[in-house]
Chain A
Amino acid sequence: ETGVTQTPRHLVMGMTNKKSLKCEQHLGHNAMYWYKQSAKKPLELMFVYNFKEQTENNSVPSRFSPECPNSSHLFLHLHTLQPEDSALYLCASSQGDSNTGELFFGEGSRLTVL
Chain B
Amino acid sequence: GQNIDQPTEMTATEGAIVQINCTYQTSGFNGLFWYQQHAGEAPTFLSYNVLDGLEEKGRFSSFLSRSKGYSYLLLKELQMKDSASYLCAGMDSNYQLIWGAGTKLIIKP
Q: Which residues of A contact B (CB under 8 A)?
A: 2, 4, 40-43, 45, 90, 97-100, 102-108
Contact = CB atoms under 8 A, between A and B. Distances in A.
Contacts of B101: 40-42
A45 B97 contact: yes
Chain B interface bracket (under 10, 10 to 19, 20 to 34, 35 or more): 20 to 34
A102 B42 contact: no
Contacts of A42: 4, 98-102
A60 to B, nearest CB: 15
B96 A45 contact: yes
Please name the 3 residue pairs, one residue from A and one from B, whose CB atoms are nearest each other, closest first: A42-B99, A105-B42, A43-B99
- Could you tell me the dominant secondary structure of chain A's interface residues? loop
A107 B41 contact: yes
Given A43-B99, A45-B96, 5 more contacts: A40-B101, A43-B89, A102-B48, A107-B40, A107-B42
A52 B75 CA distance: 38
Given A40-B8, A99-B91, A108 B100 contact: no
A108 B42 contact: yes
B24 to A, nearest CB: 12
Contacts of A97: 95
Contact of A98 (B41, B44, B95): B95
